Amino acid sequence: MTWLRHPGRMIRRALLPAFVALSAVMATAPARAAFVTEFSGNTQPYHTVPGPGVGGTVNFAVLDRTGGTPGDTFGTGIANFDALFVAAAGSGALDTSAQYLYLYQTVNNGPSAAAFPISTNTVAVTPGFLTSFGTFTGTSFSTTVVGVPAGFSDPSAVQTGASPSIVSGQNGLGTPTVILGETSLRALFNPELMAGGKSILWGYTSDRRPDIGQTGLIDGGTTSNGRVPTATFPPVPEPSAVVLSLIGLPIGLLLRRRAARV
């Protein structure tokens, strides 16, 4: 029988589709940096109806583990970034095994900033998707608005495609109390974030890939809405796992054929 006389030839023929599929996976896999630029940027909620109200900028960045180093797992460029994490109530230590880090910064720079301090910034989340959450002491994005301004509106569109940078050792920034609720992660400011004020970076880790979700700014009585990345999609399988599954299929078929012929 052909299988018995030429087993190597049969295996090579069976594995050829798997190697072709592997080449396709590797060719189409996007090159990534630590900052995922398609999910880094800003949104600028500003309540205008029935009249002016709370407004500001929510800067954001999503980072993966590409380029990460010990002490800076997600490749922020700050050598001791992991150590700056302060866990919120209900969170463990920074999850350095997570696939993604989601960062946010609240800025009170809206058209009515002087009249409407910011008391709360919310981001819609599914609690089970978060593996740790809290704040990063003394950290800030290096610019007041990350990327091209989204434009003040309610709801504000999301503006992505930015290449942020982070600085540490900053003073005079608002430090929120981060609380995980049933549908959102909330950054509470007490004292409130006054005109021109910025928060330190706050956020969470997750194994879930990002999609665009909701954020809100609250001044105590008025809410304005915008759009930010939030953990949503299941992780993509590693290429190695895809290849193993592709290789396993033809080998399994060959073994069953051989068993049937013996």
In this predicted model, what pLDDT tens digit does every residue of 34-83 receive, in sequence order? Answer: 899 999 999 999 998 888 999 999 999 999 998 899 999 999 999 999 99
**Confidence band for 16, pLDDT divided at 50, 70 and 90:** very low
> Are residues 47 and 54 in contact, defined by beta-carbon separation less than 8 angstroms?
yes
Query: Which residues lie across from 233 on neighbouring strands?
Result: 209
**Least confident among 25-29, 113-117, 166-170, 258-262:** 25-29
pLDDT at 221: 86
pLDDT at 236: 73
pLDDT at 192: 97
pLDDT digits (tens, 9 = 90+) for 122-178: 999 999 999 999 999 999 999 999 999 999 999 999 999 999 999 999 999 999 999
Parallel, antiparallel, or unpaired for β 201-206 and 118-124? unpaired
| Average confidence score pLDDT of the chain | 85
**Confidence band for 105, pLDDT divided at 50, 70 and 90:** very high
Produce one character per residue of 11-37: b if its CB has 16 or more CB atoms within 10 Å, e if not: eeebbeebeeebeeeeeeeeeeebbbb
